[in-house]
Structure 1
Amino acid sequence: MPEKKPRILQNGHDMAWSLIPLVLACLLIAAIASQCSFSPGGPKPGPIPSFDADAAFKYDSRELGFPIRQPEIPEGWTPNSGSRSIVSGDGGGDSSNIGFITEVGRYIQLTQSDATVEALVPFIAGEPRIQTGTEQIGGRTWDVFDDGDSEAIWISDFGDARVLVTGPAPAEDFTQLATAISGVEPLQR
């Protein structure tokens, strides 16, 4: 029976020859399971998930204790998500969130809430933020929270609710959405 090599004679070549069959077995299993693909140009964007924003706006207007506004969505934008959440803490409340994919493929979120600005901004941002400016759009003042390192947040107090816009979309898209919601009356309950 052959003896094992002394430890001093084992080197990287021995390890490589041991790993090659293991790597080949993993590749064979992945190929059989069809879980690998080769894409030389990088990943391709998939289809945008379908979401019925009209139904979500109407449902939230009936169920939540504050007025919900349904803006005219810019052409080429696709609603892709929606949720409701509870803003915790002092000044908290309910919130309605609808997400859109813009014409150029950027995400933007519209949040409407009865929470205060001081409670809503850190809830959406995940941390306290400092206001960096304002925008005048549609006769309303929008407080801007944009430190350049994270997603911008624009928020306006409509009296009966706060409306917030956020996401990685450019400022032009924020302006479009803020303009669209500024002149809209709340939906009937």
Structure 2
Amino acid sequence: MAEKRPKIFEGSRDIFLSLVVSGIIMVLAVSFTGMCSFNTGTPENGQVPEVDASTFMSMEARSMSDHATRLPATPEGWVTNSARRTMVDDTPASVVGYVTTDGGYIQMTQTGENVADAVAGYDDRWRDPASTYDLNGQEISIYSSTEDEVRDLRVMDLGDERVIVTGAATDEEFNELLTAVAESDPLPTN
């Protein structure tokens, strides 16, 4: 006597084949759009995307009425890889990101808020400055987070703006950027 299979398995082969064909059609359709790519290398081997910081910061300088905006001359080999506007304590602020020659990353925020409001508005995880140091006549305050995995903030008050930098870079790289900002003139506002 032949064994009867339950009805649930009767069409399973057809369903499986339909899913395989649908998957192949989907992969082919997406690959022809050119919107996807496949790179077997690691991210470290890829090229860093570059943005035009000069144009972005010029537009920001013309639109910021409460503070100066500066475009620092960055060291050779650094790549500006991001630029955006954000809010710091409910006021607009300019943010530019840099990839350094050695693969470090620094994010610089320029704001018109006073130091206490800028730090609190940036993120409420930082407490009073852990330390300060002099950098070519400018006082740099380092704010440490209450959470170990959160990176420190370095804050410089230039009078007409506050500059906040953070990221994964060496002390020398942070200081290079802060020095370049302090030595830059504010961009024209008209």
Q: TM-score, normalised by structure 2?
A: 0.74
> Deviations along 1:118-154, whole A, 9 cap, x unmatched?
2222333x33302211121121101102355222210
Paired position in structure 1 for 2:163: 163
Structure 2 unaligned runs (5+)? Answer: 7-16
Identity among equivalent positions (%) equals 29
CA contact (8 A) 1:152 1:168 kept: no
**1:164 & 1:51 partners in 2: Cα distance?**
20
Paired position in structure 2 for 1:104: 102
> Deviations along 1:10-29, whole A, 9 cap, x unmatched?
xxxxxxxxxxx9xx889977
Deviation at 1:3, TM superposition (A): 4.2
The one-letter amino acid of 1:127's match is D
Paired position in structure 2 for 1:127: 124
**2:38 & 2:153 partners in 1: Cα distance?**
38
Deviation at 1:176, TM superposition (A): 0.8
The one-letter amino acid of 1:62's match is R
CA contact (8 A) 1:94 1:115 kept: no
Alpha-carbon RMSD: 3.4
**1:38 & 1:67 partners in 2: Cα distance?**
42
**1:106 & 1:69 partners in 2: Cα distance?**
22
CA contact (8 A) 1:112 1:161 kept: yes
Structure 1 unaligned runs (5+)? Answer: 6-20
Change (3 A) 1:29 1:106: farther
The one-letter amino acid of 1:76's match is G
The one-letter amino acid of 1:119's match is D
| Mapping for residues 5-154 of structure 1, pairs under 5 Å | 39=40, 42-65=42-65, 66-88=67-89, 92-124=90-122, 126-130=123-127, 131-147=129-145, 149-154=149-154
Q: TM-score, normalised by structure 1?
A: 0.74
> Size of the alignment, in residue pairs?
176
Deviation at 1:44, TM superposition (A): 4.6
Give the secondary-structure state (helix, strand or coil) at the position aligned to 2:77. coil
Change (3 A) 1:118 1:182: same
Q: Which moved more, 1:146-155 or 1:101-110?
A: 146-155
> Deviations along 1:57-86, whole A, 9 cap, x unmatched?
211111101211221111110111111122
Instruction: Give runs of ≥4 in structure 1 deviating > 3 Å.
Output: 24-39, 41-45
